[in-house]
Amino acid sequence: MKGKTLRMLIAVAFTLVPALAFAQQLPIQVENVWSRTAAAGGNGVVYLTVTDAGAPDRLTGVASPVASAVEFHESLNDNGVRKMRAVASLPVEPGKKLTLSPGGYHIMLIGLKQALKAGTSFPVTLNFERAGQITATATVRQTVGGATMEHSHMDMPGMDMH
C-alpha cells in the first residue's frame, strides 16, 4: 500500500508543480530596477524596464516609502534647453520594452526621507491599469562623477522644470 500511495503523491506533485509555476508568471515583468545615490531631503530617481507579454496595459502610478512623493517624469531637450515634466501615465505594449532610463522617462522620488546609499535597496510599487500593483526592489548604485542632470542639479540655471 505504501508504494501505491507514494506513486500517487509523486504523480500529484508532477501535476501541480508546472501549474504553480505557470500561475506565478505574470504577463508584466519588471527588471533592472535601480537608483542613484542621493541625500536625504533631496530628490532621487528610479530607472527600470517593463516587459509586457499579455494584453496592452498602462502604468498609472508609483509609490515608495523612501520619498514624500513619487511621480513619472520625462527629460527632454527643447531646442537646446534641457527640460523635465511630470507624466500622468505610460503605455505598456505587448512585445515592446518600456525602458525608464537617464535622459528619458524615469521615476522621480521627491523629498527623500532617507539617504540613498550605494549598495542599499528599497521597494517601489508600480500601479498598472490592468495588471494591478507590482512591487519591485530598487538597488542603489554609486553615482559616477557625482552628478546627474535629472536630480542632483535641479536648480541649475537653464533647467526648465515643468
pLDDT for 24-82, tens place per residue? 456 999 999 999 999 999 999 999 999 999 999 999 999 999 999 999 999 988 888 99
> Which grid cell is 26?
505574470
Residues 104 and 75 sit within 8 Å (Cβ to Cβ): yes
Q: DSSP 3-state assignment of 32?
A: strand
Residues 140 and 118 sit within 8 Å (Cβ to Cβ): yes
75 vs 84: CA distance, rounded Å: 4
Query: What are the pLDDT digits (tens) for 87-124?
Result: 999 999 999 999 999 999 999 999 999 999 999 999 99
DSSP state of 64: -
Q: What is the pLDDT of residue 30?
A: 97
46 vs 70: CA distance, rounded Å: 10
31 vs 33: CA distance, rounded Å: 6
CATH topology of domain 27-154: Immunoglobulin-like (2.60.40)
Domain boundaries along the sequence of the chain: 27-154
Ranking 4-8, 19-23, 116-120, 139-143 by mean pLDDT, the lowest is 19-23
